[in-house]
Amino acid sequence: MLKTYPKFKRGEVDKYFKKLSKAEQNIIKDYLEYRRARGVTSEGKLRDIRRDILHFRKIIEKDFKKVDLKDFRSVFSIISQSHLTEGSKSNVRIDIKNFLRYLFKDWSLRFNDFDGIKNGTNIRNEERINSQNLFKIEDIEKCMKAETKMSWKAFLMTQYEGALRTKETRFLKWDDIKFNVDGDISEIKIFATKTMKARTVFVEKATFYLKQLKEEQENTDKKSVYCFPSNKDVNKPVDKGMVSLWFRRLTEKALGEKRWNYLLRHSRATELYRLAEQGKISKDTAVRFMGHSEDMSKTYTHLDTQEIKQMLKDQVYKLEELPPEKQHEFEKMKIEFADMKKELSEIKMAINLQKKS
C-alpha cells in the first residue's frame, strides 16, 4: 500500500486505468453506469468519481475485491494527511464509500458500518467509539429522565431500541408504524436510503412514547405525516442539525459529557451481538434486526419477518419472564401465527398453480 496520496498528471489517469485487469475495468465502467442511472448526469462529476476510484485503487495496490477494513482505514488516514483541500477530502471519502457500498453487499459488516469515519473530519473509529462512550441501559434511563419533551423522548427511545440510523429516525412516518402488533411490541418498516434496502424492526418501550406523541400531535397544529416534523415546516422531517444539537446538550446534561446520535445504533448493535456471542439469541436475529449483510441472504432466508419477531419476543424481550396468564396468551398467539403462516403458504401454492395452468 502507498504511504501518501498519489498525484496523477494529465493523461496518467487513463494510462493507469488501462493497466488494470479487464475485470476491474468493467467494475469501474459498470459502477459509472450505475451512477448515471441513479441521477448523476454531469460528465464532469462522473470523471471526478472515476478519478477518485482510481486513486483509491492505486493506494491499496490490490484487487478491489480484496479490500478489507484495515485497508479502508489506512486509505482514509492517507486521505486525511494528503495535500487535498478539506472540501476535496470530503468528496473523495464520499466517492470511495459509495463505491464500496456498491461493490460489497456486505459492506456494513466488512467495513464496520463505516462507523466513526466522517466525511469532513479526521476522526478515527477507536477515538469515537469505545466501551466508555457506548450507551448502557442506565445511560438511556438517565437521558430519558433528563428530557422533558415527549417528542425527544420518543425520538431517543425509538432510535435506540430500533437500532435506527439518525436519518431513518428523522424520516420515520406514522404510516410506517403498526402499533401493538403483539402486546406492547410495535412493528416499524424502515427503508434505509444508505443501503437502499428495506427491513422491519420491533420496539417495545418506544411504543408508549410514540403513541403519546401521536396523540399530542393530533391535538395540536403540528399534525404531520412525519413522526418527528420540523418546527418550521410540519411537512418536512426535523433538521439533522437540530437533532445533533439537542442530543449533545441532553447527554452533557444527563451524563456529564457530549455524545453523538450514531452511538445509539452502535450501542444497540453491540448489545445484540454480545447476546449472540453468549448464545442467548441467534446471530441471525442480530444481523437481520440491524439490517446488516444483505449478501448473506441465502444464509438467512429461513428467517421471515414473523420469525424474526418471534425470536425477538422470545430472546431479546425475555417473554419467558411473563406471568402465567400472559404466557398462556402468548402461547395461543404463537398457535394462531402458525395457522396464519400455513394458510398463507397454501394461498401462495394455489396462486402458483393457477399461474401454471
Is 127's pLDDT higher than 70? Answer: no
pLDDT at 304: 44
Cite the DSSP H helix spans in the chain. 12-19, 22-37, 43-60, 69-80, 86-103, 107-110, 125-128, 137-146, 150-161, 166-170, 205-218, 240-255, 262-277, 283-290, 297-300, 305-311, 324-356
Is 259's pLDDT higher than 50? Answer: yes
Q: Measured between alpha carbons, how far is 188 from 177 in angstroms, rounded to an integer?
A: 5
* Max Cα-Cα span within the chain: 76
Give the pLDDT band of residue 106 (cuts 50, 70, 90). Answer: confident
pLDDT at 88: 84
Q: Measured between alpha carbons, how far is 113 from 289 in angstroms, rounded to an integer?
A: 14
Give the pLDDT band of residue 345 (cuts 50, 70, 90). Answer: low
Question: Of the given ranges (43-57, 108-122, 192-206, 219-233), which has the lowest mean pLDDT?
Answer: 108-122
Give the pLDDT band of residue 323 (cuts 50, 70, 90). Answer: low
Q: Measured between alpha carbons, how far is 219 from 91 in angstroms, rounded to an integer?
A: 44
Burial 112-134 (b: 16+ CB within 10 A, else e): bbbebbeeeeeeebeebbeeebb
pLDDT at 97: 92
Question: With contact defined as beta carbons under 8 Å apart, do 82 and 11 qualify?
Answer: no
Side-chain half-sphere of 202: how many Cα atoms within 13 Å? 23
Which one-letter DSSP state was computed for residue 313? I
Cα distances (angstroms) measured from residue 56 to each of 16, 45, 51? 12, 17, 9
Statement: 137-277 belongs to CATH 3.30.450.190: no
pLDDT at 263: 85
Supply the mean pLDDT for the chain. Answer: 80
pLDDT at 325: 59
- The pLDDT tens digits for 3-59 are 999 988 888 999 999 999 999 999 999 999 999 988 887 888 899 999 999 999 999
Average pLDDT over residues 209-221: 92
pLDDT at 56: 95
Residue length of the chain: 357
Beta bridge partners, 229, equal 237
- The pLDDT tens digits for 146-177 are 999 999 999 999 999 988 889 899 999 999 99
Burial class of 48 by CB neighbour count within 10 A (0 to 12, 13 to 18, 19+): middle
pLDDT at 270: 77
pLDDT at 235: 92
Closest CA relative to residue 25, chosen from 48, 60, 53, 47: 53
Is 290's pLDDT higher than 70? Answer: no
- Helices 22-37, 43-60: inter-axial angle, 10-degree rounding: 140
- Helices 262-277, 150-161: inter-axial angle, 10-degree rounding: 40
